[in-house]
């Protein structure tokens, strides 16, 4: 079983309008709601790949109830979220159908009490007993200590469960010092962490800060990995046009599955890039174009990079 942790779950609401114009009223053409948060997107992708997956984190209030009701309809995903007194946040995306641009509004999340955080840590450690790998994903809700991911990384390592960390800012800075097996920043998060805008140098610096391996998302330039076994860059066969939302979460799904399977890095990166590209062709996060994924697997280019390991 693969465990995904989403401490700041969300109910994702998407509005589609013909044209988004500031300071005016809009008639919404289409509204969709989905369980959201990075770890839930990762879990849906894993389930679609046929991997047993459990999700945990926090859910509360009417929004949390709606999220869990919809999550119950997601085939292959086991719900181990913890109830909290606060209300799960909403994220609102407004899509301009003329340009394809998206404007995102993210609520902060519920206030988590010390008792709720303590209960979560106990439940998390129990779930680790049956986990083959764990992915720690996304932002922290108010009340959760900024060093939370460092605590969860250490708990996983104590029972020899491979752990991937996908977050940003100070939670990433503290979490990486706990020596996760993989961290997966994007280019901006990597630069914020290391102060370097040169990806090869930045991945090497991030490894020195504690991560066993660093896999950086470089957008259309694919993934750059610095690992104990060497360094590689995996690039999609061509620029894929579509909706990039969730592409990074699909890469995380492939990476954490590869960790569980002890897959060699070049093969693992190939799967991550192919799955990420296939997600761009899907309409929403947590889904991918299965036919395109199979086609991309044969076309991803992986090259060894000197000097980053």
Residues serving a catalytic function are: 249
Task: Tell me the C-alpha distance between 93 and 44, whole Å.
Answer: 20
Tally of CB atoms within 10 A around 220: 11
d(CA 33, CA 75): 17
CA distance 173 to 271: 27
Phi-psi bin for 223: left (phi > 0), alpha (psi -120 to 50), beta? beta
* Terminal Cα distance for the chain, rounded: 30
**What count of Cα atoms within 13 Å lies in the side-chain half-sphere of residue 136?**
31
Nearest 5 degrees, angle CA 167-CA 101-CA 269? Answer: 40
Token code pair at residue 200: 């090869």
Structure tokens at 77: 């995903």
Nearest of 294, 295, 296, 188 to residue 234 by alpha carbon = 296
Which candidate, 285, 12, 43, 6, places its Cα nearest to that of 138? 6
Q: Is the dihedral of CA 8, 13, 19, 23 positive or negative?
A: negative
CB 64 within 8 A of CB 83: yes
């Amino acid at each position: 079983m693969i465990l995904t942790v989403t401490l700041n779950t969300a109910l994702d609401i998407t509005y589609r309008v013909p044209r988004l114009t500031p300071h005016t009223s809009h008639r919404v053409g289409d509204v969709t709601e989905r369980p959201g948060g990075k770890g839930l997107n990762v879990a849906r992708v894993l389930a679609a790949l046929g991997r047993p997956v459990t999700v945990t984190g926090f859910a509360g209030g009417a929004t949390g109830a709606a999220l869990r009701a919809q999550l119950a309809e997601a085939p292959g995903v086991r719900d181990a979220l913890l109830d909290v007194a606060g209300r799960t946040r909403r994220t609102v995306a407004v899509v301009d159908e003329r340009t394809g641009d998206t404007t995102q509004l993210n609520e902060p999340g519920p206030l988590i009490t010390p008792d709720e955080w303590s209960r979560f840590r106990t439940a998390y450690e129990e779930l680790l007993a049956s986990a083959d790998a764990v992915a720690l994903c996304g932002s922290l809700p108010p009340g959760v200590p900024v060093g939370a991911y460092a605590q969860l990384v250490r708990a996983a390592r104590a029972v020899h469960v491979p752990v991937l960390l996908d977050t940003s800012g100070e939670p990433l800075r503290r979490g990486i010092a706990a020596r996760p097996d993989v961290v997966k920043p994007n280019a901006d998060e990597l630069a914020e962490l290391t102060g370097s805008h040169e990806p090869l140098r930045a991945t090497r610096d991030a490894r020195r800060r504690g991560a066993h391996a660093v896999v950086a998302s470089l957008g259309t330039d694919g993934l750059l990995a610095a690992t104990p076994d060497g360094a590689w860059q995996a690039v999609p066969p061509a620029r894929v046009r579509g909706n990039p939302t969730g592409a990074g979460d699909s890469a995380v799904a492939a990476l954490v599955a590869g960790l569980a399977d002890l897959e060699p890095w070049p093969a693992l990166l190939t799967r991550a890039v192919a799955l990420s590209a296939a997600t761009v062709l899907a309409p929403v996060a947590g889904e991918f174009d299965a036919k395109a994924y199979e086609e991309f697997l044969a076309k991803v280019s992986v090259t060894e990079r000197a000097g980053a390991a």
